Amino acid sequence: MSKKSKNKFQHKNKARKKHDINIDNNKSKLKHKFNAKYVLLSIGVFLLINLAFFPANKFAINHDIAYNPNFNLSPYSLKKNIESKKPEIILLGNSMLGRGVHEGYLNYLTKKNTIIITNGGSATAWWYLALKNVITKTNSKPKLLVIFFRDNFLSIPDFRVNGEYKDFIDVLANRNEPILDQKAYFNKIGKIEFFLKSYWPLYQKKDEFIEKLDKTIKSTSANLLNKNYDYAENIIDSVFADSNLVQEILTLTQQKAEKTTKNKEIDFNTSINESFLPDIIELAKQNNIQLTFVRVKKRRDIEKNMQPEFIIEYMKNLKKYLKTRNIELFDFSDDERLTLAHYSDGDHMNDSLGIKTFTEILSPIIDSEFEKLSK
């Protein structure tokens, strides 16, 4: 090939490459423009959806409640019960107490005027409000208040404070509850989450969406069977009820879960001041009410050495903490008098033997604690 032909070929080749590069650049620009339009369109759709739910409410805890889910647990009803019975002793807790101790039988055994205030599924936030807004506001304050709990629940202030549990909390709460709000709702919220909950309306609605989705699935399933919504809920609850499971397998399952679950509240010293326990102790002290705590036995503890190490360490620290404040703690987790034969579903005592046995075990302790007050 001559030099002239070679240069001509190279020139054409360069021109072709330049043309190809221009085509690629144009394609890239078009692609970027398309991506940019897609991103802008997505943002626009997202903003429009959010606008449908505006305005976003500044993140705050609203304790107003239009409907009382259980009149028997209203401040009025609870106070009326205390005022009419004038108890010397009040036992406070959740279903571990309600399905573990028989009020009438305990009164018979101890010959002490005792009443039980219990709300199934409740935790320390509800117990704190029951003491602050009910028990201490009556003219018949008890001399002794016994609080029943499981494991390290006393230092988990945000346990069972949302969803259906919040309805019961709102019933007892005043409109302004700074300690409740700080410890139960604001304590573990970071700045980013606080911003999202304050200014992103869809984020505020997420729990409502999940609840609606759950109801839609259940109602659709019920319609396919020509049944109503309650039928679907009852079927699901009955099929998966603990009482339908083999009790030995249920126990093993719970024990396995205890071994594998990592609990964030393992450090007593860092969690206790964030809990409601100091507030409960101070309220009792201000109202001349002696406190006693009872740790109930979980199904897990039917077999020996099943308690996680962090729970054992936690209980040691809790006992020291309460002892320095002249408060007794009675721990039934290792009590061999309570066996598998005493249990019903989960950690609850059964009606045939469990409640009777635990009430009999508890009665001398109630007697002893009350007698100390007269010395």
Do residues 261 and 350 share a domain?
A: yes
Amino acid letter, 108: Y
Q: Kindly report the length of the chain.
A: 375
Range of the domain at 39: 1-52
353 or 345: which carries more pLDDT confidence?
A: 353
The residues pairing with 147 across neighbouring beta strands, listed in sequence order, are 92, 293
64 assigned to some structural domain:
no
Cα–Cα distance measured from residue 109 to residue 350, given in angstroms and rounded to the nearest whole number:
20
pLDDT tens across 236-249, in order? 666 655 555 555 55
Do residues 41 and 76 share a domain?
A: no
The predicted structure's pLDDT at residue 216? 81
The residues pairing with 294 across neighbouring beta strands, listed in sequence order, are 148, 330
40 assigned to some structural domain:
yes
Do residues 99 and 247 share a domain?
A: yes
**Domain total of the chain:** 2
Q: For 55-84, what is the mean pLDDT? A: 78
Amino acid letter, 147: I
Nearest to 358 by CA among 128, 95, 160: 95
Helix-strand-coil split of the chain, %, nearest 5: 60, 5, 30
Do residues 137 and 8 share a domain?
A: no
pLDDT tens across 130-182, in order? 999 999 999 999 999 999 999 999 999 999 998 889 989 999 999 889 999 98
Cα–Cα distance measured from residue 305 to residue 293, given in angstroms and rounded to the nearest whole number:
22
Do residues 138 and 100 share a domain?
A: yes
164 assigned to some structural domain:
yes
Nearest to 150 by CA among 306, 315, 28, 14: 315
The predicted structure's pLDDT at residue 110? 96
12 or 366: which carries more pLDDT confidence?
A: 366
pLDDT tens across 258-282, in order? 444 444 446 788 889 999 999 999 9
286: CATH: 3.40.50.1110
> pLDDT confidence of 305, banded at 50, 70, 90?
confident
What are the backbone dihedrals phi and psi of residue 53, each rounded to the nearest 5 degrees, phi first?
-110, 5
The predicted structure's pLDDT at residue 266? 61
Do residues 36 and 81 share a domain?
A: no
Do residues 168 and 277 share a domain?
A: yes
Cα–Cα distance measured from residue 254 to residue 261, given in angstroms and rounded to the nearest whole number:
10
317 assigned to some structural domain:
yes
Q: Report residue 77 as tokens.
A: 């009803």
